[in-house]
Homo-oligomer: A and B are copies of this chain.
Amino acid sequence: MTDQADGQAPGRRPTMVDVARAAGVSLKTVSRVANEVPTVRTDLAERVRAAMSELGFQRNNVAANLRSGRTTATIGLIIRDLANPFYSTIAAAAATVAERFDTQLITASSGWDPARERELVLDLFERRVDGLIVVPTGGDQSYLRTELDRGTPAVFIDSPPSGCRADTALLDNRTGTRDLLRRLLAEGHRDIGMITDTLNDYTMSERLAGAREALVEAGIDGGRHAARLYSDNPRSAGDAVAAMLDAPDPPSALFCGNNRILLGAVEELARRRARLRLAAFDDFEFAPLLPHPVTVVGYDTRALGRLAAEMLFQRLNSPGAEPSNYVIPTYLVDRGMELTGD
C-alpha cells in the first residue's frame, strides 16, 4: 500500500487537492469546476469532473461554509413536540419552503421546557444556522437579542416572543373562538361550559379572551361554567365533562379549548350516550368520523408553517426592516357524524 490516492482507503475522503493531483490541475481550478465558474477551459473542466467521479469526491460543505462565510443553507426549527401533528405539519410546511431555497431544516423539540428551548437555540447558533423559527415555550426569549442584533433572523410561530422583538406568524385564536361562541349564543345557548388546559399559555388565554368577548357582547359575563381548568390529558377532560354534567345545573353547550380536550369530551359523551351542543378549537383529520356532531374552529396549519418560513427567507434576503406580524385566519366548520337517527 502506497500513500497514493487509492480511492479505496477507508476513512480517508478525497479532497480537492486529491482531485487536482489526479487531474493534473491546480487546487483552485478544481474549486472553480466545483462551483461551476464558467471561465474554465472545457477540456480541463472535463478532466476535473472525470477525476471527481473517479475518486468519488464530495465537496466538504463544512469547509466551504467556513471559508466563504456565506450561508450554511440550514435553518433551525424549534417546536414543542415533533410527534404532535400540529407541529409536524408546521415542520413539513417549513421544510417545503426551505426546499425552494435549497436549504435544510434542523428540527428540534423543546418539550415545553424553556431551558431546553434556550439550549437548543444556542446550539443552533453555534452551528451557524442562517435563521430560526421558534414556537416559544412561554419563557423569556431575551437571550435571543444579541444574535438578532447580529443580523440572524428569527420568526416566532404560534406564540409571540417575550423579551425581544421579531417577526411573528400567529393563528387568529381570539377571533376564531369569538365567532364560535357567537354561533352558540345565536342558537340560544346561554349556559356554555368551557374546558381549557392551562391559562399560562398564550394560545389558550387568547382563545378564552375571544370567548369572553362573545359572552360579554351577549350580556353574559363569564357564565357559571366558564373557564374551568384541567390538564391537557383527554382523560381528565372527560372527567371535567362528567363533573359538569353531574352538577345540578348542567350546561347546554360545551366549548373545548383544543382537540385533545374535545376527544376526552366525546369519549365521555359516548360512554354516557349523552348529547350536547359541542364546539371546539382545532380541526383534525379524523374529526369527520367523531361519533357526535361538533362545530370546530379550523385553520390552515400548513399555511402557518409556510408563512413563518417565507417570512424567514424574506428577512434573510432583505434584513433590517421592522418586525412584522401576520395572522392566519380561522373559520367554522361542522364535523362529526349524526348517528342517532335511523
Contacts and interface: CB of A to CB of B under 8 A. Distances in A.
Contact of A10 (B83, B149, B288): B149
B125 A58 contact: yes
A66 interface: yes
Interface in A260-288: 263, 266-267, 270, 273, 285-286, 288
Contacts of A122: 58
A58 B126 CA distance: 6
A149 B12 CA distance: 10
Interface residues of A, number: 60
Contacts of A285: 286
Contacts of A125: 58
Interface in A64-114: 65-66, 72, 74, 81-83, 85, 88-89, 91-93, 95-96, 104-109
Given A106-B74, A289-B291, A146 B82 contact: no
Interface of A: 8, 10-13, 56, 58-63, 65-66, 72, 74, 81-83, 85, 88-89, 91-93, 95-96, 104-109, 122-128, 146-147, 149-151, 263, 266-267, 270, 273, 285-286, 288-291, 302, 337, 339, 342
